[in-house]
Homo-oligomer: A and B are copies of this chain.
Amino acid sequence: MAIPHAPPGQAIDIRPLGPELSAAVTKTLIKTDRLEVIRLVVPTGKTIPPHKVAGAITVQCLEGRVEFTALGETREMHAGQMLYLSGGTEHSVKGIDDASLLVTISL
């Protein structure tokens, strides 16, 4: 099934999902040949094992808390924090609380 993504110039809602978070799933919000933006849903205790992507990424915590591991360090991220990784950097994520992350991939 084709997934509709936002066209350029159209505003997307990236506010915290709040009470809807527990039933939410990961969703690609923007997808072009240069740029991809994903809202990654990470429930409490869920681990996304080490992986990497070709392009540079930013990771922004929209709500909840996660453990984010990369470059030999594990750090806690909570709402209002962002970090970036160069392309090809292995990283993993674990939900401390139910969380959602905005991941922007520069392709």
Where the two chains meet, the residues of A that have a C-beta atom closer than 8 Å to any C-beta of B are 6, 8-15, 29-30, 32, 34-35, 37, 55-56, 58, 60, 70-71, 73, 75, 77, 79-87, 89, 102, 104, 106-107
- Please tell me if the beta carbons of A80 and B13 are within 8 angstroms of each other in the complex: yes
In the complex, chain B residues whose CB is within 8 Å of the CB of A58: 30, 35, 37, 104
In the complex, chain B residues whose CB is within 8 Å of the CB of A34: 55-56, 86-87, 106
The verdict on A11 contacting B75 (CB below 8 Å), with A34-B55, A56-B35, A58-B35 known, is yes
In whole angstroms, what is the CA distance A8 to B102 when docked? 17
The dominant DSSP class at the A interface is strand
Name which of A9, A29, A73 has the most chain B CB atoms within 10 A of its CB.
Answer: A9
Q: Which residue of B lies closest to A73 (CB)?
A: B9
The verdict on A89 contacting B8 (CB below 8 Å), with A35-B58, A58-B37 known, is yes
In the complex, chain B residues whose CB is within 8 Å of the CB of A80: 13-15
Q: Which residue of B lies closest to A59 (CB)?
A: B11
